[in-house]
């Protein structure tokens, strides 16, 4: 067992970033994410890293990507409205294939909404917020320990897939404090991006390894002179209008996630073996749902919980398999009913899917979920 | 044809380039490469970032570390690169809209922060690549596709803006004054801190034609005839200076540079400093 701490979720994300080897953070203050910037402004220089408070959210995202192109593991953090401003450059990171971690500590929306209260309204924004419709990775913690672990995992996935990775946290998880047993340093696995093995004059920045469809990534300032652009490009990184090249690049962006599917399918289950009713919940609501399962079981209802951990790509197949053996699925979430659409798509008619939402900016309680279980059963 | 030592900075592999006949950007780029070469840099020492539009396409043709970013964000990306690799000599290329419209916030704050970046704006008074819409530097009264009756807004003076925001070196010239372009860029690169060079570059296709200035040659004459050296401009009235291009050095001073300050802070925190 490692050190025992009493940490806030946002602190766990900041310290997880340090443990992951993230050495650059650019941010702009926004509730309820600001503690991440505040803590990293103190911690990064201690480990030789760099913190900068940029002039706005767009600049923060740009600087984080810039630092990553120059070889540093890099992160930014924000909340809903700020996440919206980052979306254009999130698309840049997708097409230029730049590893970067973007934390979104969700708050109530739309717009300025309720900054100090929780909602889960950015579930779709995380996946579809940027233009173009191409995939990225999003991971959602429910506990403070997970904030730590998943930040390391987010960084690892970003490096492995040369992709932006979103940490979809929320105000409850970000601000609550928990006793956390940190892992020993020896238990922490850190992945670094694949570097080119060819000499500089032979390097093509977008020539992918056929095995995983991820191109090795040189860093600016290390002797390799190469070009990167947000325009659709060929293997040289040079803009192209050749339909064949355009299609090849676009298909490869999809294929690298297909090929890495086993690394991108992460979920947890609780009491699903004999379940007749399945709850599907993520983030802070998964905590209420776990309690609801326990309480409903005491009253004789056979209920289980399925929690998507990597929420994008959505864990379609494992969910579909479990849904095939239950009578109903309930999706409690603190938004107008966003994840329920993904669940319906994954379940594909194998059983009825019920939505349970709460929009008054208070957390969905276990008793609300138990009530819904009784209604459906 | 550029000299051989300049050619090592050019990716001829990607030719033909996309610039229109008569565009001034090639002259500015060539001057920039001569400045880089004269200072003894090699391609791997230099990083060129850009935003969007005609100027955004410049880094692709330059053999160096090159990054073509999103509209207006050249300086914000460059800030991240510079902080990650302080030894790189960073040149951020921008268009006038890039720099002063969508990127205005990054521009003033990079200047205020005094981060060691050479910012070059290729000002052609127009959005060229998107079809000739107005920019913040379009002269009052000029025509554009989004100002068919003449532009009623006031023109932005980017050098005054850069200087007021804290840039340690600020200069303006035109591609007609080609030796000056090279000299100012050389000084900007040598300057530690945020250095800004505005190069007025003709766009015969979108600006010259629409405003009846004429073709590429006529636009060069127009640059020559309308340019006033700063020393002379100081003795002229605002009315006399209307629609003139004031060229010269607007600021040249020293101030603490951001990446150095951060390095010192880091050393202090880690107890390795003085």
Q: A103-138, pLDDT tens digit by residue?
A: 999 999 999 999 999 999 999 999 999 999 999 999
Instruction: Give the residue-averaged pLDDT of B192-211.
Output: 97
Bridge partners, A8 (sequence order)? A177
| % of chain A with per-residue pLDDT over 90 | 99
C-alpha A151/C-alpha B57 separation (Å) is 36
Q: Residue A80 burial (CB < 10 Å; 0-12/13-18/19+)?
A: buried
C-alpha B226/C-alpha B219 separation (Å) is 10
A210 shares contact with chain B (CB less than 8 Å): no
Q: Which of A200, A226, A230 sits opposite B70 (nearest CB)?
A: A230
Q: Could you report the per-residue pLDDT of B81-125, keeping only the tens digit for each?
A: 999 999 999 999 999 999 999 999 999 999 999 999 999 999 999
- Give pLDDT, residue B272: 64
B179-182, long-range: CB < 8 A, 24+ apart:
B180/B247, B181/B27, B181/B28, B181/B31, B181/B32, B182/B31, B182/B32, B182/B34, B182/B35, B182/B38
Bond into A32 cis (ω within 30)? yes
Q: How far is B71 from chain A (nearest CA, A)?
A: 10
- Give pLDDT, residue A315: 98
| % of chain A with per-residue pLDDT over 70 | 100
B76 shares contact with chain A (CB less than 8 Å): yes
User: Is residue B229 predicted with pLDDT exceeding 80?
Assistant: yes
Instruction: Give the residue-averaged pLDDT of A200-204.
Output: 96
Contact (CB<8Å) A71/B49: no
For B211-229, letters b (16+ CB in 10 Å) and e give bebbebeebbebbeebbbe
Interface test with A, best of B66, B77, B99 (most A CBs within 10 A): B77
Complex prediction ipTM: 0.97
C-alpha A59/C-alpha A56 separation (Å) is 5
Contact (CB<8Å) A72/B60: no
Average pLDDT, chain B: 96
User: Is residue B193 predicted with pLDDT exceeding 60?
Assistant: yes
What DSSP letter does each residue of A59-70 carry, written as one string?
A: HHHHHHHHHHHT
C-alpha A95/C-alpha A102 separation (Å) is 16
A344-347, long-range: CB < 8 A, 24+ apart:
A345/A314, A345/A316, A346/A314, A346/A315, A346/A316, A346/A317, A346/A319, A346/A320, A347/A319, A347/A320, A347/A323
| A118, A273, B69, B182, B257 from B189: Cα distances, Å | 48, 67, 21, 11, 14
Query: Shortest CA distance to A239 belongs to which of B29, B120, B18, B8?
Result: B18
For strands A310-312 and B65-68, give the pairing: unpaired
State the virtual CA torsion across A68, A74, A79, A81 in degrees, nearest 10: -10
- Kindly calculate the radius of gyration of chain B based on its CA atoms and give it in whole angstroms: 18
Q: Could you report the per-residue pLDDT of A357-374, keeping only the tens digit for each?
A: 999 999 999 999 999 999
Instruction: Give the residue-averaged pLDDT of A177-183.
Output: 97
Question: What tokens appear for A135 in the block?
Answer: 């995939």
Bond into B159 cis (ω within 30)? no
pTM above 0.90, yes or no: yes
Phi then psi for residue B66, to 5 deg, are -135, 140
Q: Could you report the per-residue pLDDT of A229-278, keeping only the tens digit for each?
A: 999 999 999 999 999 999 999 999 999 999 999 999 999 999 999 999 99
Confidence band (pLDDT; 50, 70, 90) for A2? Answer: confident
Three-state DSSP state, B22: coil
| A61, A179, A193, A196, B59 from A223: Cα distances, Å | 25, 46, 17, 12, 17
Contact (CB<8Å) B84/A24: yes
- Chain A residues whose CB is inside 8 A of the B77 CB are 62-63, 65-66, 69
User: Is residue B273 predicted with pLDDT exceeding 60?
Assistant: no
Minimal-distance CA residue of chain A relative to B64 = A225
- Give pLDDT, residue B274: 44
Contact (CB<8Å) A70/B80: yes
Minimal-distance CA residue of chain B relative to A91 = B70
**Residue contacts between A and B (CB atoms, under 8 Å):** 140
The CA angle A311-A80-B108, to the nearest 5 degrees, is 130
- Give pLDDT, residue A309: 98
Confidence band (pLDDT; 50, 70, 90) for A330? Answer: very high
| A24, A54, B217, B221 from B110: Cα distances, Å | 18, 9, 36, 34
Contact (CB<8Å) B85/A70: yes
B80 shares contact with chain A (CB less than 8 Å): yes
Q: How far is B122 from chain A (nearest CA, A)?
A: 19
């Amino acid at each position: 067992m490692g050190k025992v701490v009493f940490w806030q979720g946002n602190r766990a994300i900041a310290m997880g970033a340090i443990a992951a080897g993230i050495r650059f953070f650019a941010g702009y203050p926004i509730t309820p994410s600001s503690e991440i910037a505040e803590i990293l402004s103190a911690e990064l220089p201690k480990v030789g890293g760099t913190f900068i408070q940029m002039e706005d959210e767009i600049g923060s995202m740009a600087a984080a990507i810039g630092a990553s192109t120059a070889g540093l593991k890099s992160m930014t953090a924000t909340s809903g409205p700020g996440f919206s401003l980052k979306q254009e450059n999130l698309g840049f990171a997708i097409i230029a294939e730049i590893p970067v971690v973007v934390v979104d500590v969700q708050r109530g929306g739309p717009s300025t909404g309720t900054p100090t209260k929780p909602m889960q309204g950015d579930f779709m924004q995380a996946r579809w917020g940027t233009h173009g419709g191409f995939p990225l990775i999003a991971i959602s913690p429910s506990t403070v320990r997970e904030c730590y672990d998943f930040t390391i995992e987010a960084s690892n996935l970003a490096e492995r897939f040369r992709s932006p990775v979103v940490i979809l946290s929320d105000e409850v998880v970000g601000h609550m404090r928990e006793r956390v047993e940190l892992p020993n340093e020896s238990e922490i696995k850190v992945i670094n991006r694949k570097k080119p093995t060819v000499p500089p004059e032979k390097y093509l920045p977008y020539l992918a390894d056929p095995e995983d469809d991820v191109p090795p990534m040189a860093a600016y300032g290390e002797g390799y002179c190469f070009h990167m652009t947000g325009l659709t490009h060929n293997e040289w990184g040079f803009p192209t209008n050749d339909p064949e090249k355009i299609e090849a690049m676009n298909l490869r962006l999809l294929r690298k996630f297909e090929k890495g599917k086993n690394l991108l399918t992460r979920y947890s289950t609780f009491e699903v073996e004999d379940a007749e009713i399945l709850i599907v919940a993520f983030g802070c609501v998964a905590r209420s749902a776990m309690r609801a399962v326990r309480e409903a079981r005491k009253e004789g209802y056979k209920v289980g919980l399925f929690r998507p951990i990597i929420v994008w790509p959505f864990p379609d197949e494992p969910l579909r398999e479990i849904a095939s053996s239950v009578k109903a699925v309930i999706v409690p979430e603190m938004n107008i009913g966003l994840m329920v659409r993904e669940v319906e798509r994954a379940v594909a008619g194998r059983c009825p899917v019920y939505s349970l939402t709460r929009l008054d900016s208070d957390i969905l309680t276990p008793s609300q979920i138990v009530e819904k279980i009784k209604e459906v059963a | 044809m550029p000299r051989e030592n300049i050619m090592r900075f050019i990716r001829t592999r990607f030719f033909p380039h996309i610039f229109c006949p008569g565009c001034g950007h090639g002259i500015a780029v060539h001057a920039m490469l001569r400045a880089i070469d004269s200072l003894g840099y090699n391609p791997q020492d230099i990083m060129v970032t850009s935003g969007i539009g005609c100027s955004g396409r410049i880094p692709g043709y330059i053999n160096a570390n090159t990054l073509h970013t999103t509209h207006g964000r050249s300086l914000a990306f460059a800030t991240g690169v510079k902080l990650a690799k302080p030894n790189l000599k960073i040149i951020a290329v921008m268009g006038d809209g890039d720099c002063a419209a969508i990127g205005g916030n990054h521009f003033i704050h990079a200047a205020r922060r005094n981060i060691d970046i050479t910012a070059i704006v290729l000002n052609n008074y127009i959005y060229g690549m998107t079809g000739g819409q107005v920019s913040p530097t379009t002269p009052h009264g000029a025509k554009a596709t989004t100002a068919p009756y003449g532009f009623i807004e006031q023109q932005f003076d980017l050098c005054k803006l850069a200087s007021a925001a804290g840039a340690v070196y600020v200069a303006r010239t035109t591609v007609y004054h080609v030796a000056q372009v090279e000299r100012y860029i050389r000084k900007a690169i040598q300057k530690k801190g945020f250095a800004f060079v505005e190069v007025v570059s003709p766009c015969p296709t979108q600006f010259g034609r629409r405003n009846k200035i004429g073709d590429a040659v006529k636009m060069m004459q127009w640059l020559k005839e309308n340019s006033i050296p700063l020393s002379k401009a100081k003795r002229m009235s605002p009315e006399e200076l209307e629609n003139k291009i004031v060229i010269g050095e607007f600021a040249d001073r020293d101030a603490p540079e951001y990446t150095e300050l951060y390095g010192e802070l880091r050393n202090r925190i880690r107890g390795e400093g003085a």
